[in-house]
Amino acid sequence: MARDTTRHLTEALDAWQRARDLREAGRTTRAGMVYQRGINAFLLHRTLLRRAENAAGSASRTDLTPVLFALGALTREGVPVIEAARSRRFATLHARTGLAAAHLADPSRGVSESIGPTLSGAPEQLPRVAPGDEAPVPADERIAGAASSRLLMARLMADYPAVLAREKRRWTVADEEPLPFVRERRRFRGAVLPGCVGLDHRAETRRLASDGVRIYTELTRVLPVYRPALDRAKEDLAAVLARLGDG
């Protein structure tokens, strides 16, 4: 099993790099397909490794937060390409997967009051699971990633309400033991953040976009370097509200 999970992680990283190369070459449809392969491989790696450790009764478990962050980052990069390849249904499904992954990787869990205390000390940096040799992932990048995933999901919900209206199964995101892969993938694709439980489509869309801005606002208060990201987030929120007819 360990060999299998390592293979799936390698497949995810190889697909990520291959998708980037295809995107740069202008092969959008093919790039979108390969991004999807990478997203599935990351989730498969996490699911199989955690289930194998549970079955073995392992006292210490692998910290898979770096994989969750990578899954969120890959969806934020890949979903617009999948969307551009006219795969709107899969774009929205993968965006929800990334929304859940980014939330689970966020040390503040989207609570703005926790951002300052989280960043005030010397928060642990994570190994970066991505193509190439890159710097570790700081806590603020994990928080920003969760905010960006909210804004991406809100934009898709505003643009394609008819596509998302078909979603039936919803899973309140929590750090739970994984199910067999097909069921775990279905769960991630129907993810709803705890703060959005019970909201209808329009209210969830507004909440996700507003929360993205709220998180970036607090990040900017602590780290002014995020000011440009906050400005973009405000523009994204305005566009979502206009699309909903609330602008």
| Residue pLDDT, tens place only, 87-106 | 899 999 999 999 999 999 99
Pairwise CA distance, residues 121 & 138, whole Å? 12
Write down the pLDDT at residue 1.
41
Residue with tokens 């507004």: 206
DSSP 196: G
Percent of the chain clearing pLDDT 70 (strictly above): 94
**Amino acid making up residue 160:** Y
Instruction: Output the six-digit token pair for 25.
Output: 């070459």
Q: Is the pLDDT of residue 61 over 80?
A: yes
Q: How confident is the prediction for the chain on average, in pLDDT?
A: 92
pLDDT digits (tens, 9 = 90+) for 101-118: 999 999 999 898 899 999
pLDDT value for 247: 59
Q: Quick check: 203 pLDDT over 50?
A: yes
Domain map (residue ranges) of the chain: 2-109+116-197
Q: What is the pTM of this model?
A: 0.94
pLDDT of residue 133: 73
For residue 2, pLDDT over 50 is answered with no
Quick one: tokens of 48? 């199989």
Mean pLDDT computed over 57-83? 92
Strands (DSSP E) along the chain, which ranges? Answer: 171-172, 191-192
Q: Provide the pLDDT confidence category of residue 156 given band limits of 50, 70 and 90.
A: very high
Q: What pLDDT is attached to residue 124?
A: 79
Question: Which of the residue ranges 60-69, 119-128, 140-149, 200-209 would you say has the lowest mean pLDDT?
Answer: 119-128
* Residue 20 confidence (pLDDT) above 50: yes
- Please choose, from the candidates 169, 243, 185, 172, the residue with its C-alpha nearest in 3D space to the C-alpha of residue 48: 185
